[in-house]
Amino acid sequence: MITIYDWFGYEMPIKERYQLIKEAGFDGVLLWWSEDFGRNDYLNGPQIAQEAGLFIENIHTPIQNQNNLWLDNLDGEALTDCYLQCLADCAEFEIPTMVVHLPDEDNPHNALGLNRILRITEKAEQLGVNVALENLRNLTNLAYVLEQVDSLCIGFCYDCGHHYRYYPGNDLLSTYGSRLMALHLHDNNGSYAQHGLPFDGTIDWSITMKKIAETNYSGATAIEVMNWDYEDLSAKDFLHKAFERAKRLEALKH
């Protein structure tokens, strides 16, 4: 199965977006789950995606306030409530997984934050929804939570672009691969040094895909690419190119 982050760039109606994703060959989508970035109709996304014949692999929870999770104030509680609501939304729309950014390295974990994670874990287990924690510049917090929370519903979202940007010397897949629940595959080229099409940057994809295969991960080959350095391509052409690259990645897993 090959999936793509649904908000890959380009301004267009969401229905047309999903039709183009399906026509390019993708099996499913990763949905952005908030009104940020102009997504004021995100709650309609699941139905529109399903009508286009697309599987919804996961949702990405809001990131603007990600560092609030450890705070002993109303902002910290509000973010916890937001994640609990996202779990309920996943259950309602039959979406198996949600992706979460833990606070970054400037915001060290604490007992209150772990308690909130445990509340989220309890609800995830009740609802049967997975919570995939994504690696960014947050390895201390990520490692702590994965060590402290022994639940089949709490796992790892491996983002290869963030890996090589922030912790190129750490073997994240060998360390956390047994908890792998989701992938964000993109190359580290372009104006933001990330979210480029695979094989356009410097990531060694043969090594990356072999390591993913060794984890026994059975989920989708999911790419999280943006058109930031491909504006000369139409949305249709960009998607077709993205799908061809994703197929090459899939082939490297075998």
Q: CATH number for the domain including 183?
A: 3.20.20.150
Which backbone phi and psi does 182 adopt, to 5 degrees?
Answer: -160, 155
CB 185 within 8 A of CB 224: yes
For the chain, the straight-line distance linking the first and the last C-alpha, in angstroms and rounded, comes to 14
Domain region containing 140: 2-252
Residues paired with residue 101 on neighbouring β-strands, in sequence order: 134
Predicted local distance difference test score (pLDDT) of residue 40: 74
pLDDT tens sequence for the chain (254 residues): 999 999 999 999 999 999 999 999 999 999 999 987 777 789 999 999 999 999 999 999 999 999 999 999 999 999 999 999 999 999 999 999 999 999 999 999 999 999 999 999 999 999 999 999 999 999 999 999 999 999 999 999 999 999 999 999 999 999 999 999 999 999 998 777 889 999 999 999 999 999 999 998 999 999 999 999 998 999 999 999 999 999 999 999 87
The pLDDT of residue 245 is 98
29 pairs with which residues across the strands?
A: 4, 56
Total-model pTM = 0.96
Rounded distance, CA 236 to CA 242, Å? 10
SS (H, E, C) 209-232: HHHHHHCCCCCCEEECCCCCCCCC
Could you give the number of structural domains in the chain? 1
